[in-house]
Amino acid sequence: MILLGSTGSIGVNALKIAEQFHLNVDTLVAGRNIDLLNGQIKRHNPQRVVVMRDEDRIFVDHHDVRSGEAEILRAIEESDSNHVINALVGFVGFRPTLKALECGKKVALANKESLVVGGAFVDTSHIVPIDSEHFGLWYLNQTPRPVSRMVITASGGAFRDWPLEQLSTATLADALKHPNWSMGQKITIDSASMVNKLFELLEARWLFGEGEYDALIETKSLIHALIDYKDGSTTAHFAHADMRLPIAYALMGRVDTPIVDRIDLTRVGGLEFRPIETMRYPIWEIKDELLRSPARGVIVNAANEAAIERFIAGDIRFIDISMLILRAYDHFSGVPESIEAVFAVDEEVRRYVRGFVC
């Protein structure tokens, strides 16, 4: 495999699957956790390694170490592997997805931004999703029946139980206190604002086609997806939140070996479901409109990434993230008509958000 984002949580789990099933690791692409990367190199012996920053190359224990986006694309071209796991975070993952597809490779996709910003230009027939929600929808769809609605679940994020009047005082440290597990900084903030779930709905729309999509909060994160059928019945995908399960299916197609422990419902006791309300999650205001015009996802993503930069820098409040996204969404109209236009819109929206006075 070619593994993009090897030191993140999905990358670490992908390497566990590689070890369990004796899969070859051809290329590792990582960020700044060089100590972890060196351990992965020693264990999996990849042919080549790419890091994001050139100054980190000297610290990597490998004979072929490269740096930067262009080298990620070159590594994908050079590799004989037909499998790319794209676990990069953010817009930076879009070009590698396009390159992998251009090279005729199968993409196991965790970089949801690839579809959020450019789903109209991505051949999803060569993509297998490894987000637990989309894996759940795919899993439930293995026996085709007429579908009425596809539903994914959300944890609710760090602020699901906060009094609404206190959200204006929420700090970065508060936003990173996910109620159910530990994730990277950006995705944890996206979970708190519900942007992450909005993006996952867009991703589902591009993966599974036109139809009705929605999301709800399931506080224990044991149900990842539900499908309502036209006969009035509903099925749900239960599993412990462990990324090894969708990764194993993405790499091998069929899995008959236990990957995760079975859920004991008698120990779970009960489940709680909540609606996603716009008073707590203002970004949800544009959910239906965005699903009707999914190519506008590039606007939402660029605004979100630029707003999060400002929030991390202490320049804006947490509640300003959603406000800036909604302002940008109203300010920019139309949809990109080419891949080049996607990158142009991305830059323009970022400039707008960075310069907006809150």
Domains of the chain by range and CATH? 2-129 (3.40.50.720)
* Per-residue confidence (pLDDT) for residue 37, from 0 to 100: 97
Q: What is the 3-state secondary structure (H, E, C) of the chain?
A: CEEECCCCHHHHHHHHHHHHCCCCCCEEEECCCHHHHHHHHHHHCCCEEEECCHHHHHHCCCCCEEECHHHHHHHHHHCCCCEEEECCCCHHHHHHHHHHHHCCCEEEECCCHHHHHHHHHCCHHHEEECCHHHHHHHHHCCCCCCEEEEEEEECCCCCCCCCHHHHHHCCHHHHCCCCCCCCCHHHHHHHHHCHHHHHHHHHHHHHHCCCCEEEEEECCCCEEEEEEECCCCEEEEECCCCCHHHHHHHHHCCCCCCCCCCCCHHHHCCCCEECCCCCCCHHHHHHHHHHHCHHHHHHHHHHHHHHHHHHHCCCCCHHHHHHHHHHHHHHCCCCCCCHHHHHHHHHHHHHHHHHCCC
Which pLDDT does position 358 carry in this prediction?
85
- pLDDT (0 to 100) of residue 147: 96
Task: Output the tens digit of pLDDT for each of the chain's 358 residues.
Answer: 999 999 998 999 999 999 999 999 999 999 999 999 999 999 999 999 999 999 999 999 999 999 999 999 999 999 999 999 999 989 999 999 999 999 999 999 999 999 999 999 999 999 998 989 999 999 999 888 999 999 999 999 999 999 999 999 999 999 999 887 777 899 999 999 999 999 999 999 999 999 999 999 999 999 999 999 999 999 999 998 888 999 998 888 888 888 888 899 899 989 999 999 999 999 999 999 999 999 999 999 999 999 999 999 999 999 999 999 999 999 999 899 999 999 999 999 999 999 999 8
pLDDT (0 to 100) of residue 106: 94
What's the whole-model pTM score? Answer: 0.92
